[in-house]
Structure 1
Amino acid sequence: MKLKRAKAYKKQLHQYELNFGFREPYQVLLDSQILQDAYSCKIDLLARLQKMLGGQVKPMITTCDMRHLYLAEPKNETLILQAKEYERRRCNHQDLEKPLSTLECLSSVVDPKDNATNKHRYVVAANDPSTRAKMRQIAGVPIIYLSKSIVLMESMADVTEQHREREEKSKFKLGLKGQRKPDAATAPKRKREDEGQGDQSIGDQATGDAKPKAKKRKGPKGPNPLSVKKPKNDKTTKPSATKKSRPSTSEANGGDSQRGDREESAPRKRRRKHKSKADDGGDAPDGGEPASP
């Protein structure tokens, strides 16, 4: 499948999802003619359908089309066994002596009440030209067919396009109606702008003499305490007189001893030593004998 064709199919299927509610797994109604053509062309039809729709596929076949395969000449047992694996869509025509045509059977299944809408969200894969012409008259029916071993999807039918445009216009009108202003009766009550208006007296509200309440200032009133540098303690300040206490007797008696200890602990002054006269050869001091030569 070419890239351009694949993009067109993806865009078209997206419109079906938005407007008609298609979702995975996609229910594909297969007729007997497309199964026979795919078998003769040796095509894996389910794999082609999954690639085209871009998701899981649930193949379905009606009871009438299944009987067509049994009555076909020559009878293809392999194709019948393959069709038995598909989900059987009951069309309530099994009691008839002869099966209905594909056109009549699929029309009763896709649009049973003649409302021209695809209520059950079927994807119709049929090679019968009359069946495809009937499906184009029903809104929201993707049509798939086989042409020369190529699986193709028809473009969106005119009935489907008109239905999609009506749905979009209705959604647009609903959006405009929702944006209108509400009526005075249904409008919600307006809140009071001033919080202190309820505390005013009736006379003040009637005359309008009441002053509006001052607005509170937002934000911090002072500097951030974490950003302020803490003041250092001043060591030079003297203690106040009120904090002075009377010394006790033990402290008074021990004052002198403490003073003496301070003096002893204080470093002594270094004294300069003078030479004695004995060293100079003179008399010994304090009446002592002179030193021998």
Structure 2
Amino acid sequence: MRFTKQKRHRKAVRFFTSCFGFREPFKILCDGTFVHHLIANGIAPADTALTNILGAPVKIFTTRCVVAELKSLGSSYSDSVDAARSLMVARCDHEKRKSAIACITEVIGEKNTEHFFVATQDAELRKKFQQIPGVPLVYALRNALFLERPSAFQQESAKAAEEERSRMTELELKMLKLKKKKVANDEARDSSETEEQILETLIPRTDVKMTRIDKTDKAQFKRKRAKGPNPLSCKKKKKQENASEKMRSQGRFQEGDGDNSARNRKRKRSRKNKTSTES
């Protein structure tokens, strides 16, 4: 049972933090009935008990009108008055004292911009705040504290606020239209520039004089000519022999032709002929 209660409390806290922007430390606005119930049932310290049910640190507030109302109830509420005076004071700006219900209603307002958790034992006041979006309610039963579930009206208002946030505002719509118009103009300008470039390439220009092209700038082509045989596949040429060597090899060398060669040759004489002549 205790686990299911904690789970329900965590779910309610998550709803108000995600949908209405509540942040830690949570601010608790107490009226006189809630303060008196804490003192009567011995729920102390109050900040620890509230921290246990909300799962986050808290700051407890009250108003000057609530303290004045408790003080007017007599000496039986003296402990409650002392406990209320020890709490932080929320600004109410009332010159004349009002009732606690009227004062807390004005502090909460229509949208609860200060993000207060309202702690009260007044059933009528809780029903009234159930019709205001973003007002979580805390109440006590004997010595236990409870966080009330979000009402159907609060859940519907949270859904409507989420849908409204998802829609585009008028300013965003104007900015989107301007951006689309700018993109269309840029595309039209780019297309016109491309058309002009294409026309410039297709239509020859008459204002440009033709300059003479040098030979180096011309494309040089080699004419095809008949090629000789492959030197690697041909036999080597023999050297031409001299006419004298050719005639000697054929045996046609004559005496008259060989005088020059005979002169050049030395005559070899034998030794026997030399000795016979000497004797």
Q: TM-score, normalised by structure 1?
A: 0.57
Unaligned stretches of 5+ residues in structure 1: 191-196, 208-293
Once the 2 structures are TM-superposed, how far is the Cα of residue 171 of structure 1 from its aligned partner?
3.3
Asked if 1:154 is matched to 2:152, the reply is: no
* Partner secondary structure for residue 17 of structure 1: helix
* Partner secondary structure for residue 183 of structure 2: coil
Q: Which runs of 4+ in 1 moved over 6 A?
A: 180-183
Identity among equivalent positions (%) equals: 23
**Contact 1:142–1:154 under 8 Å retained in 2:** yes
Asked if 1:66 is matched to 2:61, the reply is: no
Once the 2 structures are TM-superposed, how far is the Cα of residue 91 of structure 1 from its aligned partner?
2.1
What is the distance in 2 between the residues matched to 1:126 and 1:17? 21
Q: TM-score, normalised by structure 2?
A: 0.60
Unaligned stretches of 5+ residues in structure 2: 188-193, 205-279
Asked if 1:169 is matched to 2:169, the reply is: no
Once the 2 structures are TM-superposed, how far is the Cα of residue 48 of structure 1 from its aligned partner?
1.3
What is the distance in 2 between the residues matched to 1:18 and 1:187? 37
What is the distance in 2 between the residues matched to 1:79 and 1:184? 65
Change (3 A) 1:41 1:205: farther
Once the 2 structures are TM-superposed, how far is the Cα of residue 120 of structure 1 from its aligned partner?
1.6
Once the 2 structures are TM-superposed, how far is the Cα of residue 78 of structure 1 from its aligned partner?
3.5
The superposition leaves residues 189-217 of structure 1 with CA deviations (integer Å, 9 ceiling, x where unpaired) of 46xxxxxx8xx77532789xxxxxxxxxx
Moved more, 67-76 or 31-40: 67-76
**Contact 1:103–1:134 under 8 Å retained in 2:** no
What is the distance in 1 between the residues matched to 2:70 and 2:139? 18
- How many residue pairs get aligned? The number is 195
For residue 186 of structure 1, the aligned residue among 173, 176, 182 is 182
Asked if 1:30 is matched to 2:11, the reply is: no
Partner of 1:104: 102
Once the 2 structures are TM-superposed, how far is the Cα of residue 158 of structure 1 from its aligned partner?
2.5
The superposition leaves residues 55-113 of structure 1 with CA deviations (integer Å, 9 ceiling, x where unpaired) of 121111111110122122333444333222211123233434xxx322211111111xx
What is the distance in 1 between the residues matched to 2:41 and 2:178? 65
- 1:133 aligned partner, one-letter code: K
Partner of 2:127: 133
* Partner secondary structure for residue 145 of structure 1: strand
The superposition leaves residues 9-57 of structure 1 with CA deviations (integer Å, 9 ceiling, x where unpaired) of 2222122122211111211110111111111111122211111112121
Partner of 2:240: none
**Contact 2:47–2:59 under 8 Å retained in 1:** no
What is the distance in 1 between the residues matched to 2:3 and 2:126? 25
What is the distance in 2 between the residues matched to 1:34 and 1:162? 28
What is the distance in 1 between the residues matched to 2:179 and 2:93? 55
- 1:203 aligned partner, one-letter code: E
- 2:201 aligned partner, one-letter code: D
Once the 2 structures are TM-superposed, how far is the Cα of residue 146 of structure 1 from its aligned partner?
0.7
Aligned residues: CA RMSD: 3.3
Partner of 1:56: 57
Partner of 1:79: 80
What is the distance in 1 between the residues matched to 2:31 and 2:202? 82
- More helix as a share of residues: 2
Change (3 A) 1:187 1:40: same
**Contact 1:64–1:94 under 8 Å retained in 2:** no
